[in-house]
C-alpha cells in the first residue's frame, strides 16, 4: 500500500496552498476533497492585499470587480462613501472559480487531487497516519495537513479550541444592469445592531453577494438583520442563486496547531481575523506555512511560524472587536476621518495588519480611552466566547 509523504484533507485555499507549497518542493502529495471543483462555498469572496500577495504568484485571480469605493452605514443610517484614488482596495472573486484555479495550480505543482472523497476519521501511530474514507477505504500518510474547514474531522482530531464562534448568512443575488451600475467598484459595510455584527454588499458583476455576520446564538435576530438589510437595499424581491449560512470559528490563544504528524491550517485551525472574519488570507498563508514545514521536515516549525506571523494580528483583531462591539458608532465616525479611512485602505491593500495598527501609540491610547468610557448603548454586550470553548479551557 502507498504511504503518501503528505495527505491534505480539504481542497479549499488552505489545503490547496499546503499542497502547492509541498508538492512544488518534491513532496509526494495527495489532496482529498469531499466535493468536486468548481464547488460553491458560503463566502464574500473579498480578497484583501495579503490574500492577493499569496495568490497572485500562483494563479491569475478571476476577478469579478476591483473595488475602490466603500460606503459605510450605521444600521442603515448616517451613510457616507469614500473613494481610494490610488487603486483597488478589494478584489472580488467567486469562490468556485478562485478555488478551482488554486486546485489547478496545486496539480501543476505535482499534487494529486481526488474529489468526491470524504475523510471520516484519523488515527496515528508514531510512524504513520491512517485516514479512513467514507467508502471504507483506508489511505496512509507520513504527514497530514487538515484543512477541512471549521467543523471538520481534523480539528476534532487535533483538539482545536475556540474563543469565538459567529454565524454568517449570505445571499448571492442576480441583479439588473441598473443595480450592477449602481454597485460597480463599490462595496458597502453596515455596522449592525447586534454586538460585533456587520453586513456587506460585495459586487461581482451580474451578481451581488449580500451577507451578515454576528455572534452565534442570535440566529433569529441575525436572520432578521439580513432581512431588513436586503429590504433597505431594495432587493427583497430578488430570488437568490444561493442562500446559505456557515459558522466561523476563531481559535483560543492556547489552541493546538498540531497533534503528532497532523497539522491543521485555515478554518480547521480556527485561524481567522476575529473582527472582519476575513479568513482567505489566513487560509492561504497558514496553508503555505504548513506545506513548507512538511517539505522542511520540521513540523514544529509550523507552530512557531503561525505564532510569529499570524497570531499577533488575530490578538489585535480580538481587541478591536471587543471595542467595536460596544461602540460601533465610534468606528463609524472614525471611518469618516482621514486617518480612519487611510488605516482602512492600508489594511485592505495589505500594507498594514491589525497588530501593527494596534501597536501604534495613538491607536493604543484611543482604544484604552474607549475601554474606560461607559458604554453609550447599555443594551449592548460584548459577544460571549463559545461556551463549549470556555468549558474546555483549563482554569475557566
Ligand atoms: C458568510 C461568510 C463570508 C465570508 N467572507 C469572506 C471574505 O469576503 N473574505 C475572506 O477573506 N474570508 C471570508 N470568509 C472566511 C472564508 O470563507 C474562510 O476563512 C475560508 O474559506 C477558509 O478556507 P479553508 O481552506 O480553511 O476552508 P474551506 O474554504 O472551508 O475549505 C474546506 C474544504 O474541505 C472540504 N472538506 C470538508 N470536510 C471534508 C472531509 N471530511 N473530507 C474531505 N474534504 C472535506 C470542503 O468541501 C472544502 O472544500 C467568510 C466566511 C463566511 C462564513
Interatomic CA distance for residues 46 and 332, integer angstroms: 20
**Does ligand 1 come within 6 angstroms of the Cβ of 148?**
yes
Going from the Cα of 277 to the center of ligand 1, the distance in angstroms, rounded, reads 12
Decide if 33 is inside a domain: yes
**Does ligand 1 come within 6 angstroms of the Cβ of 187?**
no
Decide if 38 is inside a domain: yes
What's the residue count for the chain? 396
Spatial contact of 190 and 74, defined as CB atoms under 8 Å apart: yes
pLDDT at 391: 32
**Does ligand 1 come within 6 angstroms of the Cβ of 274?**
no
Going from the Cα of 5 to the center of ligand 1, the distance in angstroms, rounded, reads 24
Decide if 207 is inside a domain: no
Ligand 1 atom with minimal separation from the 10 CA: 34
Q: Which is nearest to 279 in space by CA: 153, 111, 166, 393?
A: 166
**Does ligand 1 come within 6 angstroms of the Cβ of 292?**
no
Going from the Cα of 348 to the center of ligand 1, the distance in angstroms, rounded, reads 20
pLDDT at 359: 82
Going from the Cα of 220 to the center of ligand 1, the distance in angstroms, rounded, reads 23
pLDDT at 356: 86
Strand segments, DSSP code E, in the chain are 3-9, 29-33, 46-47, 63-67, 69-74, 77-83, 90-93, 112-115, 119-124, 129-133, 138-146, 162-174, 186-191, 198-204, 207-215, 242-251, 258-259, 262-264
Going from the Cα of 145 to the center of ligand 1, the distance in angstroms, rounded, reads 15
Domain boundaries, position 7: 3-62+94-161+252-312
Decide if 16 is inside a domain: yes
Decide if 140 is inside a domain: yes
pLDDT at 383: 43
Decide if 337 is inside a domain: no
pLDDT at 362: 76
| Segments of the chain scoring below 50 in pLDDT | 378-396
Q: Whose CA is nearest to atom 10 of ligand 1?
A: 278
Q: List the 46-47 sheet strands across, edge first.
A: 46-47, 90-93, 63-67
**Does ligand 1 come within 6 angstroms of the Cβ of 195?**
no
Per the structure, the count of domains in the chain is 1
**Does ligand 1 come within 6 angstroms of the Cβ of 353?**
no
pLDDT at 158: 98
**Does ligand 1 come within 6 angstroms of the Cβ of 21?**
no
Q: Whose CA is nearest to atom 19 of ligand 1?
A: 279
pTM, two decimal places: 0.94
Decide if 369 is inside a domain: no
CATH of the domain at 273: 3.50.50.60
**95 backbone φψ class: left, alpha, beta (φ>0; ψ -120 to 50):** alpha
Decide if 321 is inside a domain: no
Going from the Cα of 90 to the center of ligand 1, the distance in angstroms, rounded, reads 18
Amino acid at each position: 500500500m502507498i504511504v503518501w509523504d503528505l495527505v491534505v484533507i480539504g481542497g479549499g485555499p488552505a489545503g490547496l496552498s499546503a499542497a502547492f507549497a509541498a508538492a512544488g518542493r518534491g513532496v509526494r502529495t495527495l489532496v482529498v476533497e469531499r466535493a468536486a471543483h468548481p464547488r460553491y462555498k458560503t463566502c464574500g469572496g473579498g480578497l484583501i492585499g495579503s490574500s492577493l500577495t499569496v495568490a497572485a504568484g500562483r494563479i491569475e485571480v478571476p476577478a469579478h470587480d476591483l473595488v475602490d469605493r466603500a460606503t459605510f452605514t450605521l444600521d442603515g443610517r448616517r451613510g457616507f462613501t469614500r473613494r481610494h484614488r490610488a487603486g483597488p482596495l478589494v478584489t472580488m472573486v467567486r469562490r468556485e472559480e478562485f478555488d478551482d484555479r488554486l486546485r489547478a495550480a496545486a496539480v501543476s505543482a505535482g499534487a494529486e487531487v481526488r474529489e468526491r472523497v470524504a475523510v471520516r476519521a484519523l488515527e496515528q501511530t508514531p510512524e504513520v497516519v491512517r485516514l479512513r474514507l467514507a467508502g471504507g477505504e483506508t489511505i496512509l500518510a507520513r504527514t497530514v495537513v487538515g484543512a477541512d474547514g471549521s467543523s471538520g474531522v481534523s480539528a476534532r482530531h487535533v483538539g482545536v479550541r475556540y474563543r469565538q464562534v459567529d454565524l454568517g448568512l449570505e445571499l448571492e443575488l442576480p441583479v439588473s444592469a441598473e443595480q450592477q451600475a449602481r454597485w460597480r467598484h463599490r462595496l458597502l459595510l453596515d455596522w449592525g445592531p447586534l454586538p460585533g455584527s456587520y453586513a456587506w454588499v460585495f459586487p461581482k458583476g451580474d451578481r451581488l453577494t449580500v451577507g451578515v455576520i454576528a455572534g452565534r446564538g442570535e440566529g433569529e435576530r441575525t436572520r432578521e438583520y439580513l432581512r431588513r438589510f436586503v429590504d433597505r437595499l431594495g432587493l427583497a424581491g430578488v430570488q437568490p442563486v444561493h442562500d446559505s449560512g456557515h459558522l466561523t470559528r476563531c481559535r483560543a490563544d492556547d489552541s493546538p496547531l498540531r497533534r503528532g504528524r497532523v497539522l491543521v491550517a485555515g478554518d480547521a485551525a480556527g485561524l481567522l481575523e476575529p473582527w472582519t472574519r476575513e479568513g482567505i488570507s489566513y487560509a492561504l498563508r497558514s496553508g503555505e506555512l504548513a506545506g513548507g514545514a512538511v517539505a522542511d521536515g520540521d513540523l514544529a516549525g509550523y507552530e512557531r511560524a503561525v505564532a510569529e506571523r499570524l497570531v499577533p494580528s488575530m490578538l489585535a483583531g480580538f481587541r478591536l472587536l471587543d471595542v467595536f462591539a460596544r461602540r460601533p458608532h465610534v468606528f463609524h465616525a472614525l471611518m469618516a476621518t482621514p486617518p480612519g479611512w487611510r488605516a482602512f485602505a492600508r489594511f485592505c491593500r495589505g500594507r498594514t495588519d491589525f497588530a501593527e495598527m494596534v501597536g501604534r501609540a495613538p491607536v493604543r491610547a484611543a482604544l484604552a480611552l474607549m475601554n474606560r468610557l461607559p458604554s453609550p448603548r447599555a443594551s449592548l454586550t460584548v459577544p460571549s466566547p463559545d461556551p463549549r470553548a470556555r468549558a474546555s479551557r483549563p482554569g475557566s
